[in-house]
Structure 1
C-alpha cells in the first residue's frame, strides 16, 4: 500500500501548539477551541477570520520556529502504519526544513520516499498538482489528512481517502485513532 500523508494534525499533533501560539499573537481572550476550529479549516482561513496583519502572521511563524521539536508529538500508533506501508509520501504546506527536522528527531525520516513541502513551488491544496505528481511517481492507493482540504485533491485523482479526527462528509473512511487503521483497510 502506498500512502499520501498530510503532516500537521495528521502525522503530528501540532494543533495544540499552533492554537497556543495563535492565541498569544491575538493578544486577547479568544477561547482556544474557537481558534482551533478556524485553524482546522486552514491557517489562511484562521488568519483571515481573525484579521491578522502581515506582521502578526510573521510573528506567529517566528514563535512557531522557537517551539522545541520535543513538544511536537507524533500521534499514537501512526508509526505502525508507516512501517506497514510500502511507500509513504508527504504533501504539506509546512516548509521542508521544518518537516525534515521533525521527522529526523523522531527517526521517522526512514519511512518516507518523498516530501512535497510548502516551499517546493506547487500550488496550495486543494489544488491537485502536487497529488498528481506524487501519484504518477508512486502509484498511490490512499490519502490521509485531517481536513477536507487534504482529501479534495486525493478524491479528484481517484485515491481512497481517510479523514483523521474529523467527521466532515466527503471521505471514504474516518479514523479518530490510528489503532483502528488496519480494520478499515480490510473492508
Structure 2
C-alpha cells in the first residue's frame, strides 16, 4: 500500500497570513514589539513553538499563557486560510489512485475544522495534530505510529512538506521525503509544486 502523509501549513494550506495574525495578537496581548518579516523568517526556519519558547524566555512570560493568547484568536483567522494551488487536484488524484492519505501537522485541533471547511477532510484516513500528545518533529514517533497502525511499509510511504523539519522527520522515520523548499539531497526530493507529487510517487 502506498501512503501519502501530508504536512498542512505551507504544504496544503496557504495559511501563513492566518498564523502571523494569531502571533501578532499574542504579541499585542503582552505589549511585545512585533516585526512580521522577522517572525515569518523564524517560523519558516524553525516553528511557532520554538518562537514562543524563545519569546517567553526572553520576556519572562509563561509559554503556555503566551500560546493560549494566540489560540484564542485562531478560529477568528480561519477565513484567511486557503488551499494552495494544486492541493485539491493532487488529493483527488491520490484518492482515485487508491493511495492512503494522512495528515501530520504541528497545527492544533483547528486543523480538523479547516479541512472540513475547505472541503478536503474526506480524503484523509487520519489527521494527527500537535494537540494529540505525540513528540514533535523531527521525532519519527508519528510516522512510526501511522505505519504500525495502518500496516504500510515505510519504503512505500512519502512525507510531503515544506520545511527542513519535515524532511528530517521523514529521514528519521525511514520514509521518503518530498519537499517544496528543501533541495534534493540523499534523503529528500525537492518538488517545485504539488502537481509534481504525481511524478515521484510509485504505486505499490
Rounded Cα–Cα distance in structure 2 between residues aligned with 1:84 and 1:21: 33
Corresponding residue for 2:129?
Answer: 117
- In structure 2, the partner of 1:36 is 40
> RMSD of aligned C-alpha atoms?
2.4
- 2:81 pairs with 1:72: yes
1:83 and 2:92 correspond: yes
Moved more, 99-108 or 54-63: 54-63
CA contact (8 A) 1:162 1:171 kept: no
What TM-score, normalized by structure 2, do the two folds share?
Answer: 0.78
**What are the Cα deviations for residues 102-147 of structure 1, in whole angstroms up to 9, with x where unaligned?**
1111210111011122222222222111110112215252111122
Question: 2 CA distance for matches of 1:138 and 1:99?
Answer: 25
Determine the structure 2 residue equivalent to 1:182.
198
- The structure that has the greater radius of gyration is 2
Structure 1-normalised TM-score?
A: 0.84
Which of 85, 90, 93 is the equivalent residue of 2:106? 93
- Between 82-91 and 172-181, the greater mean CA deviation after superposition: 172-181
Q: Distance in 2 between matches of 1:133 and 1:7?
A: 18
Residue 149 of structure 1 is matched in structure 2 by 165
Q: Secondary structure at the match of 1:4?
A: strand
Report the Cα distance in structure 1 between the residues aligned to 2:88 and 2:186, rounded to whole angstroms.
26
Deviations 1:26-85 (A, max 9, x none): 345543221111112111221133346233322111111322x33211111012221222
CA distance in 1, matches of 2:146, 2:89: 22
Stretches of structure 1 lacking an aligned partner (at least 5 in a row): none
Q: What does residue 21 of structure 2 align with? A: 20
Kindly indicate whether residue 12 of structure 2 is the aligned counterpart of residue 3 of structure 1: no
SS in 1 for 2:26: helix
Unaligned runs of at least 5 residues, structure 2: none
